Amino acid sequence: MQPSKEAYDRASTIFSPDGRLFQVEYAREAVKRGTTTIGLKYRDGVVLIVDKRISSRLIEPDSIEKIFQIDDYIGCTASGLVADARSLVDRARIDAQINQITYGEKIPVKTLVKRICDFKQAYTQYGGVRPFGVVLLIAGVDETGPCLFATDPSGAFMEYKASSEGAGRSEAMAYFEKNYRDDMTLEEAIEMGIKAIHKGSEEKLNPDAIEIAVVDTMEKFRRLSLDESKEHVHRAQG
C-alpha cells in the first residue's frame, strides 16, 4: 500500500518516498492563489506589472504594495504572501547596501538573486521554520544588461525574457509564448504585459488596481504614476 502523503508533510525537512518536500509544494500553492504579476524584458530594460486585485471599494489602493524597489537599478514584484515578500525585500536591500559599502559598486543582479535564494533554501532545510510562500520576480540592469529572474520557494531560480506568477500564470505565459519579441519598445512591452494580465483575469481589468514599474538602462527604477498606469491600461484594452 502506498503511504499517505500526510505522513510526510509534518515538517519541511521530511522527504516523501518519491523525493518530494510537501511543505515546499504547499508554499507554491500559496503563490498560485496570489495576484497575477508580470515581468518582461524589452529593448532597453525591464517592465514589472501587477494586478493588485482590489477586493473592496473601501480599500485604499495605495496601501497595497506589490512592487518593491531594492536598489537604484533593481526592483521586484511579489506573488503569494506579501508579508513574506517584505521580509525578503528587506534582506535584499541590506545585501545590496553591504555590497556597495564593501566593494564600492552596485551589486550584480544575479549575485543578489543567488543570495536571496540561498536564504530561501535554508528555510526548507531546518526544523521549526517553514518555506517562504512567495515568488519574487526580480528585475534589474547591470553590466550584463537587463535581467529578469524568478525565485522559487525551494530556493531555485531561473532567468526569463518574460514571466508571470500568481493566479493567471498559465494564460499569461501562453500569451508570451505566442507574442513576445526581443526588440520591443517600452510602450509595446507595457501593452503586452497588460494584455497578458488580462488573459489571466476572468474580469475586465480595474485601472486603479494596475501598478507598473520600469528599470531602464538609461534611468533608475521608476514607478509609473496612477495616471500613467491608467492611460496604458485604457490604451491596451482599446
Render pLDDT for 27-85 as a digit per residue (tens, 0 to 9): 999 999 988 999 999 999 999 999 988 878 888 878 888 999 999 999 999 999 999 99
Q: What does the domain layout of the chain look like in residue ranges? A: 23-55+64-236
Q: Has residue 19 got a pLDDT over 90?
A: no
Render pLDDT for 191-215 as a digit per residue (tens, 0 to 9): 999 999 998 876 778 888 999 999 9
Instruction: Tell me the whole-structure pTM to 2 decimals.
Output: 0.92
Between helix 82-103 and helix 109-122 the angle, nearest 10°, is 130
Q: Which of 18, 12, 79, 38 minimizes the C-alpha distance to 198?
A: 38
Q: Has residue 7 got a pLDDT over 90?
A: no
Q: Which of 162, 188, 165 minimizes the C-alpha distance to 177?
A: 162
- Which superfamily, per CATH, for 23-55+64-236? Aminohydrolase, N-terminal nucleophile (Ntn) domain (3.60.20.10)
**99 Rama class: left (phi>0) / alpha (psi -120 to 50) / beta:** alpha
Render pLDDT for 115-166 as a digit per residue (tens, 0 to 9): 999 999 999 988 788 899 999 999 999 999 999 999 999 999 999 999 999 9
CA of 161: how far to CAs of 177, 180, 181, 182, 232, in Å? 10, 9, 9, 8, 21
Task: Return the pLDDT at 8.
Answer: 66
Residues with a catalytic annotation lie at 35
